[in-house]
Amino acid sequence: MIKKQKILHILGARPQFIKLAPLHKVLHNNFKQFILHTGQHYDPKMSGQFFDELNLPKPDFNLEVSGGGHAHQTGRMLMALEPILKQHPPHIVIVYGDTNSTLAGALAASKLNIPIIHVEAGLRSYDWKMPEEQNRVLTDRVSQILMCPTEQAVTNLQKEGIREGVYISGDLMMDTIRQYTDSNKLEQSLKKLKKEIPNFNFTDDFFFLTLHRPSNVDNPEMLSGIINSLKDSSKPILFPVHPRTKKNLIQFSINIPKTVTLVEPLSYQALLTAVKKSKKVITDSGGLQKEACFLGVPCITLRDTTEWVETVNIGVNQLALKDANKIDQRYFLQLLNDNVSCFDGPSINPYGNGTSAKFICDVLLKEFKT
Ligand code: UD1
């Protein structure tokens, strides 16, 4: 009998669980898979709930490394990864996106000469101050197979001299989102949401907000500037709060305007449902910019750059900051209260047609014949 090649998925943050789900399913028949959770996201609402909801098996390893500065967090992950990679050597390591878990996984595997597949390779915001930009560039540099979601990502890699092992795979998030957005699922989930958040009126028009980037939430002036602007919003705002943001809202004693309803982080299904029902998304998340685009909801991104340039180019996403450290409240409010309607979703989806997992599996079968 032919022995299946061993794949180790290394990941630790909420958006990565969403990308793992469709790929794990498709790889099941041809590979022996293991999941290593770094522990970066550990709250049940940021982690466990996603594994259950996305039907992912429990991680085989959990490093339980969370919090701390970026170098500290990445360093602790690296130290914890090496003995596991040595004791249970996989044939292939797969890392996702641009978090500290991505970089730690890639570096640890690279030091042991284990082939690395980087899913979501080639993205660039060209803002080197972003920890994610550093993680992206460094991870791409040590990866052998680079799965790019878009043509732009391939071009970005070419500019850096990376041409080998580069594929356009489309975006795994598109594979996942399609499974959770049929009208029946959305309808059932809306009923549940209404029960779970009885103090918010889902029937009236509303906006949907998320914030977690250190540049927005770790600086008291920036965070209070954003939150204070929201008091003049023309519609109520639903705001699921990331733990980092919650901590800072309390620490900086920021008053929450009446227009804003704070809630705990939502499940994946609930998030998609709330976004679909909203009139506008305001966010600094990368994934949410794409989800809004796919769901036909206009997006305002609270950043001065984005790695998801296609959403801006097709006119469904607007950058609200001209300077990452300052908020021009008038400009932000103008974008917020500007009357733009939802759309049917972009006619050409820039992030693929939901077959990314199959594509990646085919490449792995070709490159790593058993
Ligand atoms: C990380 C990623 C970011 C990604 C985001 C998704 C990096 C550099 N950043 O940012 O790219 O968009 O995940 O959400 O890797 N915390 C909790 N409970 C949790 C998770 C975090 O309390 O379950 C706290 C941590 O202790 C820490 C803070 O929130 O104090 C930030 O968490 P961290 O994982 O360092 O980064 P994120 O801001 O979530």
Under DSSP, is residue 265 helix (H, G, I), strand (E, B) or coil? coil
Q: What residue owns the CA closest to ligand 1's atom 7?
A: 99
pLDDT digits (tens, 9 = 90+) for 162-198: 999 999 999 999 999 999 999 999 999 999 999 999 9
Catalogue all structural domains in the chain, each as residue range(s) with its CATH number: 5-171+352-367 (3.40.50.2000), 179-348 (3.40.50.2000)
pLDDT of residue 13: 97
Q: Using CA atoms, how far apart are residues 351 and 172, in angstroms rounded to an integer?
A: 9
Q: pLDDT exceeding 90 applies to what percent of the chain?
A: 95
pLDDT of residue 347: 78
Among 22-26, 121-125, 295-299, 344-348, the range scoring the smallest mean pLDDT is 344-348
Q: What phi, psi does 76 have (nearest 5°)?
A: -65, -40
CA-99 nearest atom, ligand 1: 15
Cα(164) to ligand 1 centroid in Å equals 32
pLDDT digits (tens, 9 = 90+) for 307-343: 999 999 999 999 999 999 999 999 999 999 999 989 9
Q: Using CA atoms, how far apart are residues 54 and 173, in angstroms rounded to an integer?
A: 12
Q: Please give the average per-residue pLDDT across 231-250, as a whole number.
A: 97
* Percent of the chain as helix, strand, coil, to the nearest 5: 45, 15, 40
CB-hemisphere CA count at 13 Å for 239?
A: 22
pLDDT of residue 370: 61
The pTM for the full model equals 0.95
Q: Taking every pair of C-alpha atoms in the chain, what is the biggest distance, in angstroms?
A: 67
256-293 as b/e: b if 16+ CB within 10 A: beebbbebebbbbbbbbbbbbbbbbbbbbbbbbbbbbb
Mean of the per-residue pLDDT values of the chain: 96
Q: What residue owns the CA closest to ligand 1's atom 18?
A: 43
Q: What residue owns the CA closest to ligand 1's atom 2?
A: 99
Cα(201) to ligand 1 centroid in Å equals 29
Residue with tokens 């993680």: 135
CA-40 nearest atom, ligand 1: 34
Cα(98) to ligand 1 centroid in Å equals 12
Q: What residue owns the CA closest to ligand 1's atom 27?
A: 67
Cα(244) to ligand 1 centroid in Å equals 7
- What are the residue numbers of the active site? 212
pLDDT of residue 140: 98
In terms of Cα–Cα distance, which of 270, 336, 363, 326 is closest to 45?
Answer: 270
Strands 260-263 and 299-301: unpaired
Burial class (CB in 10 A: 0-12, 13-18, 19+), 40: buried
What is the best residue among 212, 264, 266 to mutate for testing ligand 1's pocket, by most ligand atoms within 8 Å of CB?
Answer: 212
Q: What residue owns the CA closest to ligand 1's atom 5?
A: 13
pLDDT digits (tens, 9 = 90+) for 284-307: 999 999 999 999 999 999 999 999
Query: Which residues are near ligand 1 (CB < 6 Å)?
Result: 13-15, 40-43, 46, 66-67, 70, 98-100, 131-132, 212, 243-244, 285
Under DSSP, is residue 168 helix (H, G, I), strand (E, B) or coil? strand
Cα(156) to ligand 1 centroid in Å equals 26
Residue with tokens 């939502």: 266
Q: Which two tokens stand for residue 216?
A: 């927005």
Q: Provide the edge-to-edge strand list for the sheet that holds 237-240.
A: 260-263, 237-240, 207-210, 280-283, 299-301, 317-319
